[in-house]
Amino acid sequence: MEYINRFYWLIALCLIISTGANASVNPKPFVIPELKEWKGSDGAFVPTEATKIVYAANNPELERIARIFAQDYQTMFGRSLEVVQGKGAAGDFIFSLRTDKKLGKEGYTIRVTDRVALSAPENIGVYWGTRTLLQIAEQSENHQLPKGTLRDYPDYPLRGFMIDCGRKFIPLSYLQDYVKTMSYYKMNTLQIHLNDNGFKQYFEHDWSKTYAAFRLECDTYPGLTARDGHYTKKEFVDLQKLAEQSYVEIIPEIDIPAHSLAFSHYKPELGSKEYGMDHLDLFNPEVYTFFDALFKEYLEGEEPVFRGNKVHVGTDEYSNAKKEVVEKFRAFTDHYIRYIESFGKQACVWGALTHAKGDTPVKSENVIMNAWYNGYADPKEMIKQGYHLISIPDGLVYIVPQAGYYYDYLNTKSLYEKWTPAQIGKAVFEEKDPNILGGMFAVWNDRVGNGISQQDVHIRTFPAMQVMSEKLWKGENTRNIPFETFETWCRTTPEAPGVNLQASIDDRKDLTLSGQEIILQGNDSVLTSIPEIGYPYSVEFEIYADPKPNIDAVLFKGPHSVFTANWQNTGKFAFSRDGYEFIFHSYRLPVEKWTKVRVEGDAKGTSLYINGELQERLEGRIGVVYNQKSLRKDSIWYQETLIFPLKQIGDKLLGFKGRIRNVICTPLNEKRYSL
């Protein structure tokens, strides 16, 4: 009933917006990004037990797309559809290739009658069409599709997201899920920032103590790879293969010659003593020797580690204090553009050549530039020089979690209503200017060690993903759909088939039978029906601890976190995730006594209640360090959040000893966090 109500509610909203529409004709379905063209008719296509997925040509890629659609359909709706080659009939999904120059490379057409005919000039268009079908089918309980004809195609060929994995390790499983999420919203480019470093004022103003990491396995320089989280070369290759299957291109980025502390930690003579060890010493020939060999490891051979067509070499925020330094920087940039190209790849750079204006020529033909700040690279001048731009204006699309600058959450309302990729800062271009390939948004994990979890990152990037998908596919809001309506629709759209990084659940779950006690011996566990619950939530339980409890005893465990009792033999509750540990210091659990515990969590913090009384709220702890250079104090805000782990109660290794009953988790009133 929930699905049916939601479906007709969406239809009603569409009817309100579609002025003058005939009530008997199906309105345009809601899809993210919005469909370009729609001509509605009457009635709906309803899949039956006999429905098949038919690919019309002997085309291995078309067959693969059909099987992906079948797999996603089963994941989302629990129905298995047979995949066959042939012509198809009434009641079937039919996929085919058909020439239509107006659709371009990625466009597609869907005709819904007594069958669903999806056609496109190229396979990628068919794939995007399957994402549309899944989104529409998800909106009703019987997964029906309104009859009519749609044509859809993007305004911009590059629609992307940049994620900083250097300052905060982002696990491979997260990146795999993000590829699926991006693909579901027709976002086709993921730039992975593989190295970076923290700010030295938070590390005793000492470069040798300042956090830095390079995240990729490296044989050329053993010991270079970060020990607190990295990707093996095989894992990174497999991630790219997964992305290719979903028509998402991964752009690996090794950011040099600034942001390079991980390399000068490894080999100190690479660092600049004049401008800081996070800058490479461009007057040292060893720098070129080192990085030629590093890039070669990932680019050489018939099956290179960097599989895609594009490789990013960084080149942002280097000092321009002296003319000779600027010329060295320009020569360095030119060298690595050409070096990347020597392996048959297209080079990408961050815009910096206005900041580093000089006489040394830098190659621009066939080079892609992330246009992020006009003071560093004037977009119009860069186009004159021959660069193709990615619109990624820092003042609009940069997320820096809990930093106090840029955005903690993007201003999605303003982006939706006012921005398109044709606006790069104050520089405005014609819509669909061929020199602007498209756009990206970015998450920068500047505040190393501030407690932000991977799921905290996700609750910031997912709503941004939905809005940016809309803006990068179709540019201007031609139908003038109010943002509030669009945002409400977004809430009903899942992340992707089989993806639930938000850990959303529909309603209250009783994870144990009412009144039934679970006896835990400290070396056993009980599985529950859900892995974890996301913000905002309440988890409550009654607990009875043995007189000789285990120290740091696992009480609840999930895919991303652990909730423990008797922290360091103090009787205190604690939780850990993402390498961080958080303790409720204000309460000690008694032994041999039943106690009612409730934990409430949201995107800002975590609260502990005992027998209905609030004991402690973990939120907003601030650390302060003295900045000697500017003679002021710098502060860092700590994120003390928990998506509560529920996959198992107890553990076979140092688990809780005692009894537990009435374990209940409940999603609280939904809140969309924003600016």
Q: Could you report the per-residue pLDDT of 550-590, keeping only the tens digit for each?
A: 999 999 999 999 999 999 999 999 999 999 999 999 999 99
Query: Cβ(117)–Cβ(398) under 8 Å?
Result: no
Return the H-helix or E-strand segment holding 16.
helix 2-17
Peptide bond before residue 536 is cis, with ω within 30 degrees of 0: yes
Residue 354 pLDDT: 98
Closest CA to 172 of 223, 241, 218: 241
Separation CA 32–CA 475 (nearest Å): 13
Indicate if the pLDDT at residue 675 is higher than 70.
Answer: no
For residues 211 and 197, is the Cβ–Cβ distance under 8 A? Answer: yes
Residues 6+ apart with CB under 8 A from 423: 391, 393, 429
pLDDT at residue 672 tops 70 = no
pTM of the predicted model over 0.85: yes
> SS3 for 547-565, per residue?
CCCCCCEEEEECCCEEEEE
- Give Cα separations from 515 to 11, 508, 631 (angstroms): 44, 17, 60
CA distances from 13 to 469, 481, 484 (A): 21, 10, 12
Q: Is the dihedral of CA 258, 260, 264, 269 positive or negative?
A: negative
Per residue in 361-389, pLDDT (tens digit) is 999 999 999 999 999 999 999 999 999 99
Residue 182, classified by CB atoms within 10 Å of its CB into exposed (0-12), middle (13-18) or buried (19+), is: buried
- Cβ neighbors of 620 (< 8 A, separation 6 or more) are 604, 605, 637, 638, 640
Whole-number Å distance between alpha carbons of 645 and 573: 14
pLDDT in the model for residue 479: 67
Between 105-109, 198-202, 543-547, the lowest mean confidence (pLDDT) is in 198-202
pLDDT for residue 3 is more than 50: no
Instruction: Give the Å distances, CA to CA, from 337 to 240, 248, 349.
Output: 22, 23, 8
Q: Answer yes or no: are the C-beta atoms of 592 and 547 closer than 8 Å.
A: yes
Element (H, E) at 602: none
Banded model confidence at residue 415, pLDDT cuts 50, 70, 90: very high
pLDDT band at 670 (very low <50, low <70, confident <90, very high): low
Mean pLDDT of the chain: 94
The answer, yes or no, to whether residue 13 has pLDDT greater than 80, is: no
Which residue reads 């949201």 in tokens? 602
How many Å apart are CA 347 and CA 337, to the nearest integer? 5
Q: Output the CA torsion sign for 424, 425, 431, 435.
A: negative
**Lookup result for tokens 């423990």:** 564
Residue found by looking up tokens 């593989």 in the block: 194
For residue 234, count other CB atoms closer than 10 A to its CB.
10
Encode pLDDT of 429-483 as tens digits. 999 999 999 999 999 999 999 999 999 999 999 999 999 999 999 887 666 789 9
Q: Average pLDDT in the 617-628 region?
A: 82
d(CA 385, CA 407): 31
- The answer to whether 406 and 393 are in contact (CB under 8 A) is no
Name every residue whose Cβ is closer than 8 Å to that of residue 118 and which is 6 or more positions away in sequence.
93, 94, 95, 96, 108, 109, 110, 126, 129, 130, 133
CA distance 657 to 650: 8
What is the rounded average pLDDT of the residues 102-119? 97
SS3 for 632? strand
Is the previous residue joined to 559 through a cis bond, with omega within 30 degrees of 0? no
Please tell me the predicted confidence (pLDDT) of residue 412: 96
Altogether, the residues listed in the chain come to a count of 675
Torsion of CA 500, 412, 448, 190, to 10 degrees: 60
User: For residue range 351-362, what is the model confidence (pLDDT) as tens digits?
Assistant: 999 999 999 999
Q: From 576, 510, 539, 557, select the one nearest 655 (Cα to Cα).
A: 557
DSSP tag of 499: B
CA 466 distance to own-chain centroid: 11
What span, in angstroms and rounded, lies between the C-alpha atoms of 613 and 390?
52
DSSP β-ladder status, 249-256 and 189-193: parallel
- Give residue 264's Cα distance to chain centre: 29
Across the range 654-664, mean pLDDT stands at 97
CB 83 within 8 A of CB 71: no
Lowest-pLDDT choice from 21-25, 397-401, 624-628: 21-25
Q: Which of 158, 104, 97, 95 is nearest to 130 (CA)?
A: 95
In the DSSP assignment, the letter for residue 332 is: H
Token reading at 486: 């669009």
State the Cα–Cα distance between residues 153 and 163, nearest whole angstrom.
26
Strand locations in 187-314, DSSP E?
189-193, 195-197, 212-214, 249-256, 271-272, 276-280, 310-314
What is each CA distance from 354 to 256, 258, 323, 377, 605, in whole angstroms? 18, 16, 13, 5, 42
pLDDT value for 564:
98
